[in-house]
Structures are given as C-alpha cells and as structure tokens.
Structure 1
Amino acid sequence: MTATTGTTTRQRIVASAVELTLAHGWSQVTMGRLAEAVGVSRQTVYNEIGGKPALAEAMILAELERFLSVVTDAFDAHPDDLVAAIEAATTGVLRLARGNDLLKAVVSATHGADTELLPLLTTHAESLLETAKTVVAERVRTYDVPLDDHLDPAIDMVVRVVLSHVMQPSAAPEETAADLAFLASRVLRG
C-alpha cells in the first residue's frame, strides 16, 4: 500500500482504467496511457495486472466487490429474516446498478462497437457468477433454510435473476426486490 493514498498500485491502476474507459471507451485504454495516468511505468502495469484481458476482468471484479458489499450489508441488517435480507440486498444491488456508469458503458456499448467488456458480464461470466453465488450462499447458510438439497439451485436462480435485472431492469429496484422477496417467501415455506 502506498502511504499517501491508502490504496495499492493495482487498485490505482484498476480505478484509472475505469476512469479512462468512461471518458474514452475501452478500445482507447492502452497500457501506456494507463501507466501515464497512474504515474508508473508500462512494465509496472503489466507486472501488477497482466494484459488487457486481465485488466478488464480486474475492473469487473472490483465492481463486483462493491455490489457484494451491498449484499453483505443487507444480510447483516436482517440477521433473523432471510426474506427481508433478500429484499434489501436486491434493492441495494439494483439501486447501485442503476447509478453505475461503468456498468452502463459496458451494457450499452456507448462507444461505438466497443463491446469487448460485455462478454465478461454475459457469456464469460463464470467467475462473476461463482463469486456472487459463494458470497450469497455463505450468508444464506446462517439462516434456518428448509431447502435441503435444493439450496444451491435456489441461490443460483436468485443470483441469475438479480443479474438479469442488473443488465436489463424491468421495474424500479424496490418493485423488483419486493417481487423477488415474495417468491422467496413462498419457496421458503416449502
């Protein structure tokens, strides 16, 4: 960690990559431009991150951490009510998605044909999905859930539905969250 900013060089590189992507589009992000923005050498960027595909994944995973902290906070706020935790987590995630400029840039490909990042959220989203499902499963398992062998498929379905609404919202976050909470309450009753 650097003493002055409290962030690692890697975190600074990823944050600058996000800024450059929002300002100029992903296709205009180069390791040289990124190194200049951070104030390090190109070699340092490669040493910290790797190539551009690894940089893209690091950006997406950094955003995922922000989203998962919202999930964790929602579960912490409702330790005795799983349905309320699901509703709060879904509301928080969808609100964060609504105001997330990087997500908007990735999903809408606002910079011409600049769609290289989109597969990280769609067809190549294995690590994103697995990370999200692991965090949600850890939280859900602290509740008394009567789903036995069906818990993992239920978590998979909830994560995929929320991700679908992140990518393409169909209603206000609160409305979507209430609907998902309603369904969860019915499933949890058995």
Structure 2
Amino acid sequence: MGAVVPESTRQRILDAAVEMTTEAGWASVTMSRIAERCGISRQTVYNDIGAKPALAKSLILRELEQFLAVVSTAFDEEDEFIAAIRRATYAVLDRAQDNKLLHAVVSATHGADTELLPYLSSHSEGLLDYSTEIIHKHITRFDHGLTPVQAEAAIEMMVRVVLSHVMQPTKSPAETADDIAWLMSRVLSA
C-alpha cells in the first residue's frame, strides 16, 4: 500500500470555505478565518486563491467540475442516448440533494445570506456554455438523429431544465430523470 498523498493547500482552502459557508453563511467567510482553520498564513490563502471573488469562482468551478464528472461517467456507461440522458440527469440531481455548498447557495435565494448567489448567477452563462460543451462531446457517439442545430437547442434546453431542478427540486431525482428522458424521447420522435 502506497503512502497517502497529502491534500493540496488549495483543496484545503476550498474545503474550509465550503465548511464555513455551510456553517455560518458566505458573509462569514474571510481569508483570515480560512487561514486559521487551515493552519496556514493569510498570505498563503491569497497566494493560492486570490481575493474573495476569486475564492467564490474557484468554489463554483470545482463544484461544476464534480457535477460534470458524474455526467461524463453516465454518458460513458450507456449505449443508448435516452438511457444516457436519464442516467446523467439522475446522477446530477442525486448529487445535488446532498451538496452542502449548493444548499447554502439555494438558501441564499430564500432570504438568508445573499452574497454568494451573484457569483453563481453572474457566471451562469459560462456555466451553461461549459455544461453544454461537455454534453456535446459525449453525444457525438450516439445515433440520435438530430442536426447540429437541433442538438444544440435540445442540449441547452435540457441543461436549463436540469439546472432548474437542481436549484428547486419538485420531485425525486429518479422521477425528474424519468420526466426529462421522456421529454427528450418526444423531441427525438418528432
């Protein structure tokens, strides 16, 4: 058994920021408090991350990468297009249920700490573009019958619907995944 690889300082900083955000809200997160929690200097936090806006962006991008990793896995594990959509949707929604940072952001939309939400919404166009780009790469191996323009529109709408359910779920992940897969099957049969 090999030696345990120590966490990078950057990951420790991001983990501490998530913990602090979920414990007391984004407004309570300061570089000094992160440094104290990580047992490092405040200057190290600034050197590895930057100022608080850069920290917010880093947190959001890390979460997005983790969500897109489950999407990639879902598409890689299926041989049929609708099944891949269903699996990817379920994976994202299931992961979202237990995501502490996401819950902190969503609670901010309901009148709590609203300071972190603008970081998510101001980068939403980039998040949407990045998400649709990843899905585009995966669907090329499927025989879905969509023209490139149709695929672009279908993927963007699917991503928007899934993100809407991430932010405000109305059903279980399995039920929502079934619904979105059904909608996509109707698009393909049209």
- Same-fold status (TM-score > 0.5): yes
Q: Could you tell me which residue of structure 2 aligns to residue 136 of structure 1?
A: 135
User: For residues 174 and 111 of structure 1, do their structure 2 counterparts lie closer, same or farther at Cα, with a shift above 3 Å needed?
Assistant: closer
Once the two structures are TM-superposed, the CA of residue 111 in structure 1 deviates from its matched residue by 10
Pairing 1:146-165 to 2, within 5 Å after superposition: 146-148=145-147, 149-165=149-165
Secondary structure of the equivalent of 2:142? coil
Once the two structures are TM-superposed, the CA of residue 120 in structure 1 deviates from its matched residue by 3.1
Once the two structures are TM-superposed, the CA of residue 177 in structure 1 deviates from its matched residue by 0.7
* Equivalent residues of 1:25, 1:111 under 8 A apart: no
Q: Could you tell me which residue of structure 2 aligns to residue 126 of structure 1?
A: 125
User: Match of 2:140, as an amino acid?
Assistant: R
Deviations 1:38-87 (A, max 9, x none): 22211111111111011011111111122111111111110x20100100
> Is 1:36 the equivalent of 2:36?
yes
User: Match of 2:76, as an amino acid?
Assistant: D
In structure 2, runs of 5+ residues without a counterpart are none
Q: Could you tell me which residue of structure 2 aligns to residue 73 of structure 1?
A: 73
Report how many residues are paired: 187
User: Match of 1:114, as an amino acid?
Assistant: D
Q: Could you tell me which residue of structure 2 aligns to residue 14 of structure 1?
A: 14
Q: Distance in 2 between matches of 1:118 and 1:162?
A: 18
Q: Distance in 2 between matches of 1:123 and 1:158?
A: 20
Q: Distance in 1 between matches of 2:144 and 2:125?
A: 26
Once the two structures are TM-superposed, the CA of residue 114 in structure 1 deviates from its matched residue by 1.4
Secondary structure of the equivalent of 1:122? helix
Once the two structures are TM-superposed, the CA of residue 34 in structure 1 deviates from its matched residue by 0.6
Q: Percent identity?
A: 56
Q: Distance in 2 between matches of 1:141 and 1:182?
A: 20
What root-mean-square deviation, in Å, do the aligned CA atoms of Structure 1 and Structure 2 show? 1.9
Q: Distance in 2 between matches of 1:95 and 1:108?
A: 18
**Normalising by the residue count of structure 1, what TM-score does the alignment of the two structures yield?**
0.90
Q: Distance in 1 between matches of 2:109 and 2:24?
A: 10
In structure 1, runs of 5+ residues without a counterpart are none
